[in-house]
């Protein structure tokens, strides 16, 4: 477990040095928000409509930016044979998975944290219920990343990996995106945490199942 944290720290340290991935994720999510803002320009004055659109727009931005980041997560590890270097060291394969999941999740949280203010400005929208929203975003993102990290490792060894990842990932994250969008919607329309209990439960179940299954099958994705 400690070694996973070291791996995550290593990833974040090299990422913050170049900020390559972080910047492209951020710009991408910004572009998604801008495009939605332009195409919904006429209705932005009607708060009720914005309220209906907001959760979908936010999660589309998060998902796309996240997919972009994930597609590079293992590609970087392939340079200089670093993944092999990790495999040569006396650690469990699953600690590589856990470490990568943590670093990917943290990168996504940063992007999400910066996307939301932009969204507020461009959609003239006032966000309420921040703690509930944070919880939903945390659970949704963690589920997304636990599947995404596994599939990132899996698609890293396929032909045309950049295309392969979204094709594999998007059908599998339906069960995490739907409750996340719903719960976000309820929170934004002043619902308390109590009113999204069933969504939260589903998110927790999804997160647990895929985090555990991911650890179990990860070693098969990085075998030689």
Partner 1 sequence: MLIDRKKEKVLAIITAPVMLIAIGMIFFYVPQMKGNAGEILDSSFKIFYFHLPIAMVSYLAFTVVFIASIMHLKGNSSKWDIVAHSAAEVGVVFAFLVLVTGSIWAKATWGWYWIWEPRLTTSLALFLVYLAYLMLRQALEEPEKRARLAAVFGIVGFISVPLSFLSIRLWRSAHPLMFGGSSYGSSGGGLEGTSLQLTLAVNMLAFALLFASLLVYRINNEALKEELEEMKYNHS
Partner 2 sequence: MAPIDSIISITGLSKSFGRRKALNNINLEIKKGEFVTIFGPNGAGKTTLLKIMSTIINPSRGSILVNGIDAKKHPEKIRGMIGAISHETYLYDELKARENLVFFARMYGIENDNIDSRVDSILKSVNLLQRSDERAGSFSRGMKQRLSIARALLHQPEILLMDEPYTGLDQHAAANFERVLMGTGDSDVTRIMITHNIERAFELCDRMLIMDRGEIRFDKLKTEIESVEEFKEQYLSIVEKDTDAEGISNV
Binding site for partner 2 (CB under 8 A): 3, 6-7, 10, 13-15, 17-18, 79-82, 84-92, 223-224
Of partner 1, partner 2, none, which one does residue 174 interact with (CB within 5 to 8 Å by kind)? partner 1
Please report whether residue 221 would count as binding partner 1 according to CB under 8 A.
yes
User: Shortest gap between Cβ of 57 and partner 2 (angstroms)?
Assistant: 33
Residue 24 contact among partner 1, partner 2, none, beta carbon within 5 to 8 Å by kind: none
161-170 contacts, C-beta under 8 A, 24 or more apart = 161/71, 161/75, 162/71, 165/67, 165/70, 165/71, 166/67, 166/71, 169/67, 169/70, 170/63, 170/67
3-state SS assignment for residue 137? helix
222's tokens:
């990085």
Cβ pair 203, 176 in contact under 8 A: yes
Q: Which of the choices partner 2, partner 1, none does residue 182 contact, using the CB cut-off of 5 to 8 A by kind?
A: partner 1
DSSP code of residue 90 = S
Binding mask 192-211 for partner 1 (x = CB under 8 A): ------xx--x--xx--xx-
| Residue with smaller CB distance to partner 2, 88 or 174 | 88
Distance CA 131, CA 114 (A): 16
48 vs 79, beta carbon nearer partner 2: 79
The single residue listed with the structure tokens 């590890």 is: 77
Nearer to partner 2, 39 or 80 (CB): 80
Exposure string over 198-216, b if 16+ CB within 10 A, otherwise e: ebbebbeebbeebbeebbe
Partner that binds at residue 121, options partner 2, partner 1, none, CB closer than 5 to 8 Å by kind: none
Question: What is the total count of residues that contact partner 1 (CB under 8 A)?
Answer: 34
* Site track 154-183 with partner 1 (rule: CB under 8 A), x = hit: xx-xxxx---x--xx-xxx-xxx-xx--x-
Query: Residue 89 or residue 126: which is nearer to partner 2 going by CB?
Result: 89
By a kind-dependent CB cut-off of 5 to 8 A, residue 156 interacts, out of partner 2, partner 1, none, with none
Question: What does the alpha-carbon distance between residue 118 and residue 28 come to, in Å, rounded to a whole number?
Answer: 13
């Amino acid at each position: 477990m400690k070694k996973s944290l070291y791996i995550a720290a290593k990833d974040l340290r090299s990422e913050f040095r170049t900020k390559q991935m972080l910047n492209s994720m951020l710009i991408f999510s910004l572009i998604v928000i801008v495009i939605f803002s332009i195409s919904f320009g006429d209705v932005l004055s009607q708060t009720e409509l914005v309220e209906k659109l907001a959760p979908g727009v936010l999660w589309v931005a998060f998902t796309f930016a996240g997919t972009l980041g994930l597609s590079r997560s293992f590609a970087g590890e392939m340079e200089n044979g670093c993944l092999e270097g990790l495999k040569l060291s006396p650690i469990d394969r699953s600690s590589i998975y856990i470490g990568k999941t943590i670093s990917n999740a943290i990168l996504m949280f940063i992007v999400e944290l910066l996307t939301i203010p932009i969204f507020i400005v461009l959609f003239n929208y006032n966000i309420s219920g921040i703690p509930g929203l944070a919880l939903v975003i945390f659970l949704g993102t963690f589920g997304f990343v636990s599947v995404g990290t596994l599939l990132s490792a899996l698609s890293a060894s396929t032909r045309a990996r950049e295309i392969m990842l979204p094709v594999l990932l998007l059908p599998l994250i339906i069960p995490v995106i739907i409750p996340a969008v719903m719960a976000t919607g309820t929170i934004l329309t002043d619902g308390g945490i109590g009113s999204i209990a069933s969504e939260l439960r589903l998110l927790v179940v999804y997160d647990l199942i895929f985090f555990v299954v991911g650890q179990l099958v990860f070693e098969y994705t990085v075998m030689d």
